[in-house]
Amino acid sequence: MGGGDRVPQGGGPGGGPGRPGGLRGAIPFRRDQLRALGLVAPLLIFVGVTFIAPLATMLTRSVHDPVVADALPETLALLRDWDGDGLPAEAVYETAARELERLGEERTIGQVAGRVNRVQGGLRSVFTRTVRELADAAPDPAVAAETPWRDALAGIDPAWADPMTWHAVRTTGERFTSRHYLNAVDRERLPDGTIARQPEERRIYLRLFWRTLLVSGTITVLCLLLGYPIAHLIARAPPRRAALLLVLVLVPFWTSLLVRTTSWIVLLQTQGVINDLLVAIGLVSDDGRLAMVYNMTGTIIAMTHVLLPFMVLPLYSVMRGIPPQYMSAAASLGATPVQAFLRVYWPQSLPGVGAGALLVFILSIGFYITPALVGGSDGQLISNMIAYHMQTSLNWGLAGALGGILLVGVLALYLVYDRLVGVERMGLS
């Protein structure tokens, strides 16, 4: 700080004329800096509160879940001594029965049951039924038994005599947990503490991550194939025509995403414009109409359309800077058009290819709206799964974990993009 090179030359508005040279450097520097920070601070605070803090709370949820820990504190404390083999001690059963009864009175059993159920399917009903029937099933003190509470709970549901139930309670009782992240990569922690893959039918998230990457890659390649020629055409066109052609790229760019998605539904549906056209010219028969929407095909077509401008604009701005004389020079030196393109033009257009491809890829792995509307059941991406866990299954911890993984991936790609292009120059201008 305070190095001479950072001192604004001549002083900012704060540095009045005629001050002695020695002071002149120091004072306006500090005042300038304060003024600049004062201008930035309101927005920085605003974004911190309205955006960074919300993100942080969501990510916290993915590792922090106190509901079960707060609901069954004594049971969990006793379970700490349980070796994990066999059944827990009678004291655990007695305490659990007492705490479950309280949850029933407070009507908070649903939250606990739901969480335990995610670790061990079927436990939701075990918990709610146990709470309901506990009052009538309490052991009779007159009857001597070695484990009266264990017998009473197991009498309500045999699941209480299964160590896996207690394992589920102990797992969900961890205040800070890695299970949502393990779940998000199709792993689980076994009772003995080792990490293993989920059973076959529960492995869905890794496949979905791969599908999202694959679909995004496909869309990126399609955008490049479609966008490269037209960016080249616009870059070489005379100014007036170039401006007109650019408008054709910018109109979709500015048109509402929902409008563009609606258009594709209208065009692609079985009774839609494209199928009608294909039937009219006899390419497909009337009952052989193509299913092009509400599936993966619909997602890919609509997303390619939505993202194509993000490919064309960076390509165009790079290609505009490639002098056309280079191609003539290559031709005059005997290169065929193909050779000239591959060895002269393509290498010079690579910065645009990199910027456009990276941008399209980043945008598509986080896409939500278009797949949700035109994707049907097999055209959904990872964002749609996050929305599902947010709104339908209400497994917010898992939604947070999936979101956390997606966010890290996207931010890493943006860092690459920033190195290559600069986030500030994002296809906007």
Partner 1 sequence: MAAQHPDARPSPAPAVGTARAVAPRMGRFAYFAFCAAVFVFLVAPILVIIPLSFNAEPYFTFTEGMLRFDPDAYSLRWYREIIENEAWTGSLVNSLVIGVSATALATVLGTLAALGLASPGVPARRVIMGILISPMVTPVIISAAGMFFFYSNLGLGQTHLGIILAHATLGVPFVVVTVTATLAAFDRNLTRAAASLGAGPWTTFRRVQLPLIAPGVISGALFAFAVSFDEVVVVLFMGGVEQRTIPRQMWSGIREQISPAILAVATFLIVFAALLLVVVAWLRRRAPG
Sign of the alpha-carbon dihedral angle for 5, 9, 15, 20: positive
Q: Nearest CA to 46 among 57, 35, 54?
A: 54
Which of 67, 89, 182, 390 touches partner 1 (CB under 8 A)?
390
CB 100 within 8 A of CB 71: no
Which long-range contacts link 285-288 to residues 24+ away (Cβ below 8 Å)? none
Q: Nearest CA to 232 among 218, 211, 253, 249?
A: 249
Which of 143, 144, 281, 338 touches partner 1 (CB under 8 A)?
338
Tokens in use for 170? 């102990």
Least distance in Å: CB of 106 to partner 1? 21
Q: Does 180 bind partner 1 (CB under 8 A)?
A: no
Q: Does 337 bind partner 1 (CB under 8 A)?
A: yes
Q: Does 38 bind partner 1 (CB under 8 A)?
A: yes
Please, which residue, 134 or 413, has the CB nearer to partner 1? 413
Least distance in Å: CB of 232 to partner 1? 7
Sign of the alpha-carbon dihedral angle for 293, 297, 300, 304: negative
Which of 3, 13, 20, 238 touches partner 1 (CB under 8 A)?
13
Q: Is 185 exposed, middle or buried (0-12, 13-18, 19+ CB in 10 A)?
A: middle
Instruction: Please report, in angstroms and rounded to a whole number, the separation of the first and last CA atoms in the chain.
Output: 34
Distance, in Å, from the CA atom of 321 to the CA atom of 250, rounded to the nearest integer, reads: 20
Q: Does 67 bind partner 1 (CB under 8 A)?
A: no
Q: Does 354 bind partner 1 (CB under 8 A)?
A: no
Binding region for partner 1 (CB under 8 A) out of 79-87, 127-135, 141-149, 327-335: 327-335
Please, which residue, 77 or 273, has the CB nearer to partner 1? 273
Distance, in Å, from the CA atom of 429 to the CA atom of 413, rounded to the nearest integer, reads: 21
Q: What is the dihedral of CA 59, 64, 70, 74, to 10 degrees?
A: 170
Residues 201-260 close enough to bind partner 1 by CB under 8 A: 226-230, 232-233, 236, 245, 247-252, 254-260
Distance, in Å, from the CA atom of 129 to the CA atom of 379, rounded to the nearest integer, reads: 38
Please, which residue, 127 or 228, has the CB nearer to partner 1? 228
Distance, in Å, from the CA atom of 317 to the CA atom of 313, rounded to the nearest integer, reads: 6
Please, which residue, 161 or 426, has the CB nearer to partner 1? 426
CB 283 within 8 A of CB 355: no
Binding region for partner 1 (CB under 8 A) out of 52-60, 69-77, 164-172, 199-207: 52-60
Please, which residue, 77 or 210, has the CB nearer to partner 1? 210
Tokens in use for 116? 């335990």
Q: Does 281 bind partner 1 (CB under 8 A)?
A: no
Binding region for partner 1 (CB under 8 A) out of 94-102, 105-113, 126-134, 359-367: 359-367
Please, which residue, 88 or 309, has the CB nearer to partner 1? 309
Q: Does 55 bind partner 1 (CB under 8 A)?
A: yes
Please, which residue, 196 or 273, has the CB nearer to partner 1? 273
Q: Does 36 bind partner 1 (CB under 8 A)?
A: yes
Please, which residue, 45 or 204, has the CB nearer to partner 1? 45
The size of the interface with partner 1 (CB under 8 A), counted in residues, is 109
Please, which residue, 1 or 142, has the CB nearer to partner 1? 1
Distance, in Å, from the CA atom of 286 to the CA atom of 302, rounded to the nearest integer, reads: 24
Which of 242, 265, 278, 290 touches partner 1 (CB under 8 A)?
265
Please, which residue, 64 or 129, has the CB nearer to partner 1? 64
Q: Does 58 bind partner 1 (CB under 8 A)?
A: yes
Coil vs helix vs strand at 64? strand
Sign of the alpha-carbon dihedral angle for 108, 114, 117, 121: positive
Least distance in Å: CB of 58 to partner 1? 4
Which of 91, 196, 411, 412 touches partner 1 (CB under 8 A)?
411
